[in-house]
Structure 1
Amino acid sequence: MKNVLNLIKKSLIYILLFTVISVAVDLWRTRDFTSSQSPTTQATALSGNNIDLNALSQDKPVVVYFWATWCGACKFVTPTINWLSQYYDVVAISASSGEARRVQAFINSHDYHFENINDPRSQISSRWNLRVTPTIAIVENGEIKNITTGITTPIGLLARLWLL
């Protein structure tokens, strides 16, 4: 019994330490992000749908996912985003991933179903002042309510959405 309690205590310490480090890294990576107002983002998705992010976020939160086909960390996060797109509006923005045909082939080969805007020259990412992929922002009523970078878990994303 004593060993089990020790294991639980050590696990809680590691979880707390991991959480503190993750929050600190997020704060450091997003330190240049000064505005809570979402940059105007209007574009045509690969599906052909016209997307106005601020208008879309007026009724409910929108998950904005900046990623790249070449991004190693995105391989872990993108399946979570795909799953989340069943329950929330997701607008993905593929930065510096090549021409639209190539990005669409990548999305199809992985059976992803979220809306995606191709950003081959990272112009949208630059307007958002982002330098790290993956970056996930939650936008509601045209305002950025939460932003995180790097690998995140389904539970972490759901917690961010539920805490709005």
Structure 2
Amino acid sequence: MKTILNIFKKSLLYILIFTVISVAVDLWRTRDFTSSESPTTHAMTISGNLIDLNTVSQDKPVVVYFWATWCGACKFVTPTINWLSQYYNVVAISASSGEARRVQAYLDSHDYQFENINDPKSQISSRWNLKVTPTIAIVENGQIKNITTGITTPIGLLARLWLL
């Protein structure tokens, strides 16, 4: 019984340490955001829909997902984003991933259903002052409410949305 209790205690300690490190890294990586106002983002999705991020975020929060087809960490995060898109507004922005038809083929091959804006020269990503993929921002009423970078869990992402 003591062994199980020790394993449980150690597991909780590791989870706590991981959480503290993760929050610290997110704070460090988001230090470049001097304003909580999201950069104006008007763009056409690959499927042909015009998106105005600030307008869309007026009704309910929008998850803005910056990713790339070549990004290794994105391979772990994108399925979560795809699942989340069934319940929340998601606008994905594929940075430096090539032509729109190449990105669409990638999305189709993985059966991803979220709206995606192709950003082949990373112009949108630059306006947001992003340096890391994946980056996930939660925008509500045109304001950045939360930003995280790197691998995130479904529970971590849901917690960020619920805590708004």
Name the TM-score class by shorter chain.
over 0.9
Listed one character per residue, the Cα deviations across residues 64-103 of structure 1 (whole Å, up to 9, x for unaligned) are 0000000000000000000000000000000000010100
- 2:17 corresponds to 1:17: yes
Aligned to 1:76: 76
Separation (CA, whole Å) in 2 of partners of 1:160 and 1:94: 22
Letter in 2 for 1:46: I
How many positions carry a matched residue from both structures? Answer: 164
1:27-46 → structure 2 map (5 Å cutoff): 27-46=27-46
* 4+ residue segments displaced more than 3 Å: none
Q: CA deviation at 1:27?
A: 1.0
2:129 is aligned with 1:122 = no
Deviations 1:33-90 (A, max 9, x none): 1110010000000010000000000010000000000000000000000000000000
| SS at 1:48 equivalent | coil
Map 1:1-164 onto structure 2 (within 5 A): 1-164=1-164
State the shift of 1:29 in Å: 1.2
Shift of 1:129: 0.4
Quote the sequence identity (%). 87
The one-letter code sitting in structure 1 at the alignment partner of 2:6 is N
Task: Give the counterpart letter for 1:155 in structure 2.
Answer: I
CA RMSD of aligned residues (A): 0.5
Between 22-31 and 150-159, the greater mean CA deviation after superposition: 22-31
Q: TM-score scaled to structure 2, two decimals?
A: 0.99
Matches of 2:120 and 2:155 in 1, distance apart?
Answer: 30
TM-superposed deviation, 1:17: 0.3
Tell me how far apart the structure 2 counterparts of residues 20 and 96 of structure 1 sit (CA, whole Å). 31
The structural deviation recorded for 1:28 is 1.1
Tell me how far 1:123 sits from its aligned partner: 0.3
Q: Distance in 1 between matches of 2:32 and 2:136?
A: 15
Letter in 1 for 2:23: V
In structure 2, distance between residues paired with 1:108 and 1:159: 29
Q: Given residue 44 of structure 2, which amino acid in structure 1 is its aligned partner?
A: T
